[in-house]
Structure 1
Amino acid sequence: MILSDLSVRRPVLATVMSLLLVLFGLLSFTRLTLREYPDIAYPIVSVRTVYPGASPALVETDVTTVLEGAISGIEGLRTITSASRAETSQIVLEFGRTRSLDAATNDVRDAISRVRRQLPLAVQDPLVAKETGDGNEIMWLSLASDRHSELEMTDVAERFIKNRLAMLPGVSTIPLDGERRYAMRIWLDPERLAARRLAAQDVEEALRTQNLTLPSGRIESDRTEFDVSIRGSLETPQQFLHLIVAYRDGYPVRIQDIGRVELGSEDDRKLVRVNGKPAIGIGVAKQSKANTLEVAQAVKQAWPDLVASLPEGMTLQVAWDGSLAIEQSIREVYRALGLALILVVLVIYLFLGSVRATFIPAVAIPASIIGAVTILWATGCSLNVLTLLGFVLAVGLVVDDAIIVLENIHRRIESGVPPIQAAMAGSREIGFAVLATTLSLVVVFIPIAFLTGVVGRLFAELAIAVAAAVLLSGFVALTLTPMLCATLLKTGRRQTRLSKVAEEAFAGLVSRYRRAVERLVEARGPVLGVALGAIVASVLLFLRLPMELAPLEDVGWFAGHLTAPEGATIRYTDAYARQVEGIVETVPEVTFNYMVVARGYRPTIVNRASSWVTLAEWEKRDRTQQDIVAELNARLGRLTGVKVSVLNPPPMEQSPEKTPVQFVLVGSTYEELRVQAERLMRKAAAHPGFLNPDMDLSMNMPHVTVEAHRSKSADVGVSMAAIGRTLETFLSGRPVTTFSRDGRVYNVIVKVDEPYRNSPSDIMTLPVRGEQGQLMPLGNVVSVREDATPEALHHYDRMRAVTISAGLAEGFSLGEALDYLNRTAKESLPRMMRFAYAGESKEFLESRASLHVTFGLAILVVYLVLSAQFESFLSPLVILLTVPPAVMGGLLALAFTGGTLNIYSQIGLIILIGLVTKNAILIVEFANQLRGRGMAAREAIVEAATLRFRPIIMTTAATILGALPLALATGAGAAGRRHIGLVLVGGLALSTLLSLFLVPTVYRLLARGPVKPDKLAVARLPYATVADQSHASSASSHIIHGGS
């Protein structure tokens, strides 16, 4: 080939080209973003709207439905989900990945502005926020103390820690959990209020008019100017106690006469503990495109300053760090990359027995892989676990072309051809095969680019990494490798002891292989039976293996979720949360247990608690995270009075609060949905594969409905607004005014004291004022009824919906679970009700469908490319018959090791298509060359198989050893690497074993007549003759001789 000839004649040029590849790769490496996975998050826009005092049903009809109708037609909208809770509507819009997040957010704001006037007057302006799904908290810190209160710890967190962390690069927000923000709490006694003929509005009015600071102008003299302000603000509980609310019978009525005042917390309906001790949680949320590891490193660098700012007696700890698993996983991949490099170089040396000869293909590894980094940078990819995994796979692949070229050149040198002429002639002869094998592997990755959903985005970067490395390896094999062969290889070198032993062993192996091929090319029946058996076995194994989105990884932590009955108080929930903490603390591998009692904000959901449990480092424990989760699920499942689920973190950056099974029922009425969902839940609960099935529709939340008697209200002059404000002030506790403390502003909150809000009947005694100023009990104009209401009303794509969620028992796959629910739903659901999937379940089904299509498309693309290269539609069929044994080998490896069909193992199967066809190409291409020179088909295929046996075994061994560190992976992220490694090792081993006999037999069966010699064939065999090839056959087992 021209490129090879030029490189041999100009060795400096060949060297410089490879050095430039390495140089540009190293420069690009410093510019790549390091992260766990590629950017796979969908653009998400959330709309949050507050409707004070509204029930979930009212929020659904008056707010959620109106907003959904306005925004449902926005371009690029993928799904729309919503939850209507008491006082709050939350709508989440998920857009296609190609949609600009900024443009989508603007479109949402415009759509909402057009229907703003259709919302009730009391509804606050909707808050539109943009997200990408990957901007969640990457770390939770805990601030604890034995001598300071939660109020003091919150103050320190807000003043010193939060502001310092918010300034770090890549940080988005710093949320606080369990915070106790200072507030001046005024607790009113309704009986003493009524005795003094006062209502809550009187107290509020007094606070607004008497607690303020106003500018009053300035005083000027000839030489000095003074600003004047009226200081009327109140700052201490004593000052608020002495505030005069009104005069009755000539005497002032102060707040101390009608209630009490304390400096307390704004909200005490959320608790945080770390390892059982009260704490304030401090989250670190990264920006959507920020590097998790860089943000975590910035926090660690700022740690000394953060600790130094703490008062004596306060301690700051990292309670949960999501970056540790990422860091460990990347470290393990780097370790696998190094180990693969060592194993591949070692196997090359064992085959070649020469340091010089080993150096030639070994140098292709850094040149190809480091050079591929430039292509990653140019295509906008990141350096992540998957691209590094691609490089690990590439270690065994990039030496293949160099080995093939090296072996062909060496045969010529050993037959007496001078090294320079041998390098040119050998490269020309094998150049087409190198081009064909390289392209056949590269084109396998083209269909991966058409994968949809998360899987497509995930593996596109892996495909680019491997394809780039393989392409560059072909370039290196046709430029640097011939030049090094011409320079380093010499004829008649002294053999080492290792080379002699290897030569004798390999010569015997080649001789036995040739005799076997000569017999089997005529035994078509048994060989074709094996091929057909491989196809049938592959199909059966594919159908029987369990399927899931991705294998569960040991990431060093897990989550637990507790749900108490609807209407349970925070005390009830907390009591059970402490029991859970006690059980978790008995697990020896646990280092931190970050417990949050009561979730959410406005309203806080007090009947739920969650914990994030961090385990000891991987090398310091004998049990896996999955083993510990299974044990805790068994122990915590025995608790009565609450539901407790312990979950392994889901794969692929799914929400850690969601279970794998997310089955959505969609219908017209919630009552019908509830009936059908309960029926499905009963069947799921009876199935041993489902853990803790639950649904998000509960119709038994205790509720109090206050009905105003309009005629009575009108008679006494009490407006609906007065009733609403009275209830809001007494029961909800709303901020009325503010006060200052140490330079910060806090709220003043008025609320009825606890003894007077223990029962629904207490509402009847609250005082309310009519328009004429008269005071009366609220019971005069309202009645109270206790009933039940849903905690939340959900929509899916604007339809009323209920989601059934469940965990999976050990040994039960996500595919089996969804197939069971699918069959059950089709059998039992009414015709007008449909179902859908969400979360991990949705991603799994999308990936399963697209991967099946991609596998078939990969085979088709390889076939077409090979047809174009061979100028034949027949030769590629022989080559593609190596695929069924490879698939069978990969699936058998999964079956014997308890693996599953997931995105990793299925991508491994797709990669196998390109890998196993390389061996067949070498045999078929050379057989065609020999037939083009007039050799009979039988003799040509036997000769080609014999001559290519040695490079096939060498390249296969190198590829298998390159993938072996993945198959034996341990530590963080090992499960995914192990699946892809097992598929490659098993598939390559079995395919090579069978295809070495299958390809010659099928070629002999399909060969019809001689291949006509053409210019292309002559160009590929410029010096060889049939006689030369027969002579070379006797030396085909020679290895490259020693001498370094």
Structure 2
Amino acid sequence: MFLSETAIRRPIFTVMAMTALVLFGYLGYRSLGVNRFPDVDFPTVTVSTVLPGASPEVVESAVTDVIENELSAIEGVKHITSASRLGVSTVTVEFELERDIDIAAQDVRAKVSAVAGQLPRDAEPPTVDKLDISAQPIMWIALMGPDPQSVGEYARWTLRPRLQTVEGVGNILLGGYREREVRIWVDRGRLEAHDLTAGEFVQALQEQNVEVPGGNLESGARETIVKIQGEVPSVEEFGGLVVAYRDGAPIRVRDVARVEDGLEPARGAARYNQQTTIGLGIAPRSGANAVAVAEGVHERLEELERTLPESMDLQIAFDGSESIERSIADAQYELLYGAFFAIVIVLLFLRSWRSTVIIALAIPTSIIGTFGFMSAFDFTLNTFTVLALALAVGIVIDDAIVVLENVYRHMEEGRDPREAASVGTDEIALAIIATTFSLAAVFLPVAFMRGIVGRFLFEFGVTVAVAILLSLLVALTLTPMLSSRFLRHVETRRNPAYAKIGQSLDWIEARYKVGLDWALEHRGLTMGIAGIAIVVGLVFFVLLPKELTPQVDESAFVIASEAPVQASLAYTNEKQEALEEIVAGVPEIQGFFSAIGLWGGANQGFMFVRIDEPGERDRSQEEVMNDLRGRLAQVPGVNAYVSSMGSAFTAGGDGEPFQYLIQGPDLEALRDHSETLMARLREEVPGLVDMRTDMRLQKPEVRVEMDRDKAAAMGIDVSNIADVINVLIGSQEATIYKEGGHRYDVRVRVEEGQRNQPADITELAARTEDGGLVRLGNVVSLSEGTGINVINRRDRQRAIKIVGNLEGSSLGEAVGAADRIADETLPDGYSTAVTGASETFQETFQSLLFAIFLAAVITYMLLASQFESMVHPFTIMGAVPLAAIGALGLLLVTGMSLNLYSFIGLVLLVGLVVKNSILLVDYTNQLRARGMERDEAIRRAGPVRLRPILMTTLTIIFGVSPIALGFSEGAELRQPMAVAVIGGLTTSTLLTLIVIPVLYTLMDDGVAWAGRRIGAIRRHGWRGAWTPAHPEP
């Protein structure tokens, strides 16, 4: 072969080329970023619109429906989901992955701008944002101190600005932060006694606190700006502002209200390890290196701690970069251990240090060279690319093993090393090109899978393919060149230390010859056994639990809590503290960040919990979570749901794996159907826990209804009444106070004791047309009831979502049960759908099954092209189903599931088992081409190819064994893939060495029979060819 001949003839050129490849890879490695996952754009855009004070029903009809109707016409829309809450509409548009997200976002903005004129007059302009999962916080910092106001000010104006200057830092969230606010508490009785309304009071404040430009003064060549200082210089002076005159006497703010320099009203709280705190969530910029960002933040915190006020304490509550670094480092160690084990296997088989070193050089050359291409493709070191490299370790030496083994065989036949390297490489070149390209080809469907999972797997597929193709280059250049220079004759292999190994291999070869002879004499029975094995594999497929991804021990999880929907913040806080007390008593707990009301209603809370690393605790994360579920359930008046951190493959939302939608027109009916479904699921799928829905119909509300006739007679309209209620009950921003370069809201609200009960609304006063005051009780009536907390829709239909966690049951089992129950119970007009992780699960399994099919088709096409045969590719690919029994069986025995990662292992097996078959069939064809009879060629080819097949198989098995053992962090994700590869290779290799030769003879007989029939048809016609009068020649 020209390439290998050139490498042998020009060793310096070959060494320099390989050195350049390694240097290119090293430089690429230094520039690679480190992240947990690849940088993937979720094709999702959100539109948020605020309509102050509007009920969910009004928001749905006046805002959500209008926006959804306009957005549904945009090209490439996959789903439109919406949530209509009190005063807020959120519409989320998920696009097909083929659409460019930036162009799609522009289309959304254009449509929203076009429809803005149809929204209510009071609606604020809608905001449009792209979803960026990389912008989620990777760190949470807890700042604690005795004075909430000073802690908040320090976090807002000192810590956050300093941290935002760290390279790569994007947004910084403030959890538990309450903005400083000047609060003016109005006494309702004193306001009325001085003949003032709320609107007049607010208007007077605005007029008394202004900064007005006064123009310019010109004097000759000099110009001076005149500025009228009308702003209030200090908080105390707000009390002296005049808001009205009565009988010539000024009425000041202090006469009707009190002024407080405080914080905005509490709608939430945050604590770290049961201490009140301000949480700072550090989110990296899109595309930034998460680990580098975290390192920069740590360095900046060390600087800030030197100037931190003595009364304050600063702690890192959570650092996601630590688990990223550990996971990547552990995967790299798995790569090194796998390489070591693979090299040991080579040494045991070849019993030569020289040959082992020659083969071992393929690993660093191929792997390091791959780093250069990863950098060129703008990839990062992440879970998937490191997994690809760890997987490739046992594969990249396969070609070198086959080449060197063949070179050795020719040396044993008497050729010198240089001639053996040339002839041996040329003889095996076609086979290894076919095997390598077929193996690389199976990853193309994975790299270009549809769905969001396909985007994550793109870097994985390309990285594996590049490493494999580079290994082919090494095997055809560096390996033969080194073999021609450094190999010695076989006497070196007869070292007494290796005698027993050699005897064992000879014994295996002898037993194999006996088995092969028996199989060739009992072809029908052999194929029958193979058929039974395939059927058993199908049974294993049915029995295996199915899920999107395995549960991972991340040493962290979340606890969501929910009090009754009408619960106040104080009630929820009391219950959250009771939950925190239980969590704090768990021995494995390192720390926890707790919050209520910050990212939900006043009745909702969550805890982010960190536990000891796996090596430092006796119980698994799942056992700790299950224990907490039981303990937290004992707290009355609140529901607590313990969940893992969630999947990377879902665009935000709930982290629970089970997410199921019921859609229909009536909200009450949706609630009833969801309760029925959940009750049945609890009975039939006990492993489905923490189930709840996202709809609440018991939110208490007070409806203010106006007597329009009375109001008209008094000259009061609806807007006047709404203004009065909004100012004194809802709190209105009246003006701005400036201090130290910062701006703070000044808000007016009635005293707390005068706005506790619904009846207090009727005591408020409004100005009549004749200038008098009248209590609202004269023109309005109140009614109390319950209202809808949120109205959710999907694809313009009202929907209710059921979510839950899995404890001992698979996602496939839960979804299947839900579908069956829904078919039995839902009436016409109501439908179901999966969403979130459940939807990704279904889409991914469909894509993976298609990827396996496509990999098989591509492999067939390559083999047909290589062998110029339409038949032999079927013979070669006959080994693929033989791998199923081992892969699926070992997954079942080890208690693992059929998931994304085990499916990747199955895809890989398509290429790996074909490699062994190619070696066997290709050499058989070569022997027959030299004139050897078919059965004799098979009996010769099997033993000759036995050792390289065993070597390549064992190097792959031992190369991935560190992954299968699962000792590292995040190994739960990688284990199923390695287990599938080990099981599949074990059974397929044992069966391939026996079944493929038999299948080869059967296919060959079939081709011969078909050829004879076709010849007879040509000679005697269709009918004559099948009559006894014309026997076969």
TM-score category of the 2 structures, normalised to the smaller one: over 0.9
Distance (whole Å) between structure 2 residues aligned to residue 388 and residue 580 of structure 1: 39
Q: 1:920 Cα shift?
A: 1.4
User: How do residues 287-298 of structure 1 correspond to structure 2 at under 5 angstroms?
Assistant: 287-298=285-296
Q: In structure 1, which of residues 894, 899, 902 is the aligned counterpart of residue 896 of structure 2?
A: 899
Number of equivalent positions: 1005
Q: Are the counterparts in 2 of residues 542 and 891 from structure 1 also a CA contact under 8 Å?
A: yes
Q: Distance in 2 between matches of 1:39 and 1:277?
A: 36
- 1:282-304 Cα shifts (integer Å, max 9, x gaps): 11122232222222222112122
Q: Distance in 1 between matches of 2:531 and 2:920?
A: 21
SS at match of 2:635: coil
Question: Is 1:866 the counterpart of 2:849 in the alignment?
Answer: no
2:647 is aligned with what amino acid? P
1:401/1:473 contact within 8 Å kept: yes
Query: Which residue number corresponds to residue 1014 of structure 1?
Result: none
Return the alpha-carbon distance in structure 1 between the equivalents of residues 757 and 276 of structure 2. Answer: 30
Q: 1:58 Cα deviation (Å)?
A: 0.6
Are 2:644 and 1:645 aligned?
Answer: no
Please name the residue that 1:352 is paired with: 350
Partner Cα separation in structure 1 for residue 134 and residue 707 of structure 2:
51
Decide whether the 8 Å contact of 1:684 with 1:693 is kept in 2: no
1:454 paired residue number = 452
Cα separation, 1, equivalents of 2:831 and 2:380: 40
Give the C-alpha shift of residue 953 in structure 1. 1.1
AA paired with 1:558?
A: F
Which of 992, 1000, 1007 pairs up with 2:989?
992
Q: Which moved more, 1:639-648 or 1:689-698?
A: 689-698
SS at 1:94's partner residue? strand
In 2, are the aligned partners of 1:160 and 1:306 still within 8 Å (CA)? no
Show the counterpart of 1:956. Answer: 953
Q: 1:163 aligns with which of 161, 164, 175?
A: 161
Counterpart of 1:979 (choices 957, 970, 976) is: 976
Uncovered stretches (5+) of structure 2, i.e. residues with no partner: 1009-1033
Q: Equivalent residue for 1:1019?
A: none
Q: Partner residue of 1:815? A: 812
Q: How far apart, in 1, do the equivalents of 2:562 and 2:390 lie?
A: 44
Cα offset, 1:989, TM superposition: 1.4
* Deviation readout 1:361-383 (Å, 9 max, x if unpaired): 11111111222223333444332
Task: Describe the SS at the equivalent of 2:786.
Answer: strand
CA distance in 2, matches of 1:949, 1:559: 53
Amino acid of the structure 2 residue aligned with 1:587: V
Cα distance in structure 2, aligned partners of 1:198 and 1:642: 44
Shift, 1:161, TM fit: 1.1
Deviation at 1:446? 2.2
Report Cα offsets for 1:95-125 as digits up to 9, x if no partner: 2334333322222221112121111111111
Task: Look up the match of 1:748.
Answer: 746
Structure 1: any 5+ residue segments left out of the alignment? Answer: 1012-1044
CA distance in 2, matches of 1:306, 1:100: 42
Give SS of 2:581's match. helix
**CA drift at 1:563:** 0.7
Give the SS at the match of 2:605: strand
Q: Which residue of 1 aligns with 2:505?
A: 506
In the alignment, the residues of structure 1 paired with residue 344 and residue 689 of structure 2 have an alpha-carbon distance, to the nearest angstrom, of 48
Is residue 2:615 matched to residue 1:619?
Answer: yes
Q: 1:754: how far off?
A: 1.0
Are 1:914 and 2:911 counterparts?
A: yes
Matched residue SS, 1:92:
strand
Q: 1:723 aligns with which of 712, 718, 721?
A: 721
Decide whether the 8 Å contact of 1:189 with 1:752 is kept in 2. yes
Whether the 8 Å contact between 1:591 and 1:616 is mirrored in structure 2 is: yes
* Distance in 2 of aligned mates of 1:973 and 1:267: 42
Select the residue among 386, 410, 414 that pairs with 2:384: 386
d(CA) in 1 for partners of 2:79, 2:321: 30
Which of 596, 620, 625 is the matching residue for 1:629?
625
Partner of 2:551: 552
1:683-709 per-residue CA deviation (whole Å, 9 max, x = no partner) reads: 223341221221112111001110111
Instruction: Quote the Cα distance in structure 1 between the aligned partners of 2:619 and 2:739.
Output: 51
1:84 aligns with 2:80: no
**What SS is found at the alignment partner of 2:967?**
coil
Matched, 1:669 2:666: yes
How far apart are 1:17 and its partner, in Å? 2.2
Give the C-alpha shift of residue 339 in structure 1. Answer: 0.7
* Contact 2:171 2:284 (C-alpha < 8 Å) held by counterparts: yes
Shift of 1:1002: 2.2
**Separation in structure 1 between the aligned mates of residue 168 and residue 237 of structure 2, nearest angstrom:** 44
Residues 192-235 of structure 1: CA deviation (Å, up to 9, x unaligned): 22222211112101211112233334667789876543333224
TM-score computed with the length of structure 2 as normaliser: 0.95
In structure 1, how many angstroms separate the alpha carbons of the residues matched to 2:133 and 2:366?
A: 35
Question: Which range moved further: 764-773 or 566-575?
Answer: 764-773
In the TM superposition, what whole-angstrom CA distance separates every residue of 1:222-281 from its partner, at most 9, and x where no partner exists? 898765433332244432222222223443322222222211111311100000000011
- Give 1:610's aligned residue: 606
Where do residues 733-772 of structure 1 align in structure 2 (5 Å cutoff)? 733-772=731-770
Q: What SS does structure 2 have at the residue aligned with 1:599? A: coil
C-alpha contact (below 8 Å) 1:767/1:776 kept by paired residues: yes
| Aligned residues: CA RMSD | 1.9
> Which residue of the other structure, out of 452, 455, 466, is the alignment partner of 2:464?
466
User: 1:293, 1:611 → 2: CA distance?
Assistant: 24
Q: 2:521 — aligned with what?
A: 522
Bigger drift between 547-556 and 321-330 goes to: 321-330
- Indicate the SS of the match to 1:13: helix
Deviation at 1:311, TM superposition (A): 1.9
- The letter for the 2-side match of 1:612 is F
Give the Å deviation of 1:327: 1.6
In the TM superposition, what is the alpha-carbon distance from 1:672 to its structure 2 partner? 2.9
Tell me how far apart the structure 1 counterparts of residues 401 and 655 of structure 2 sit (CA, whole Å): 49
CA distances 1:623-668 after superposition (whole Å, capped 9, x unpaired) = 2222211111121122221111010112225447431111112222
Matches of 2:35 and 2:176 in 1, distance apart? 30
Find the residue that maps to 1:738 and give its secondary structure: strand
Query: Which letter does structure 2 place at the counterpart of 1:616?
Result: D
Percent sequence identity is 39
Encode CA deviations 1:491-549: one digit per residue, 9 max, x unaligned: 25444332333222222221222222222221223321221111101111111101000
Q: Aligned partners of 1:3, 1:1000: CA distance in 2, in Å?
A: 31
Is 88-97 or 790-799 further displaced after alignment? 88-97
- On the 8 A contact 1:551/1:651 being kept in 2, the answer is no
1:354·1:499 contact (CA, 8 Å) conserved in 2? no
- Does the Cα contact within 8 Å between 1:718 and 1:769 map onto a contact in 2? yes
TM-score by length of 1: 0.94
1:273 aligned residue: 271
688-697 or 49-58: which moved more? 688-697
Q: Secondary structure at the match of 1:446?
A: helix
Q: Which amino acid aligns with 2:667?
A: Y
Whether 2:138 is the aligned partner of 1:138: answer: yes
Q: Distance in 1 between matches of 2:437 and 2:748?
A: 75
Match of 1:541 in 2: 540
SS in 2 for 1:396: coil
Give deviations 1:949-987, integer Å, cap 9, x for gaps. Answer: 111111111110111011012232111111111111111
For the Cα contact (< 8 Å) 1:685–1:692, is it kept in 2? no
Structure 2 SS opposite 1:36 = coil
Partner of 2:1012: none
SS at match of 1:901: coil
Counterpart residue type for residue 121 of structure 1: R
Once residues 94 and 875 of structure 1 are traced to their aligned partners in structure 2, the CA distance between those partners, rounded to angstroms, is 46
Partners of 1:94 and 1:49 lie apart in 2 by 18
> Within 5 A, what are the aligned runs for 1:421-432?
421-432=419-430
Tell me the alpha carbon deviations over residues 588-628 of structure 1, each in whole angstroms, 9 at most, x when there is no partner.
2211210111133xxx6101001111122333223222221
Aligned counterpart, 2:26: 26
* In the alignment, structure 1 residue 940 sits paired with structure 2 residue 943: no
The answer for the alignment partner of 1:1036 in structure 2 is: none
Q: Pick closer, same or farther for the CA change 1:492–1:880 going to 2, 3 Å.
A: closer
Q: Distance in 1 between matches of 2:289 and 2:828?
A: 48
Residues 83 and 90 in structure 2, CA contact (< 8 A), matched pair in contact too: yes
User: Secondary structure of 1:807's match?
Assistant: strand
CA contact (8 A) 1:650 1:656 kept: no
2:399 is aligned, of 398, 401, 409, to: 401
SS at 1:331's partner residue?
Answer: helix
Q: Which residue of 1 aligns with 2:415?
A: 417
Q: Distance in 2 between matches of 1:10 and 1:220?
A: 88
Q: Which amino acid aligns with 2:625?
A: V
Matched, 1:310 2:308: yes
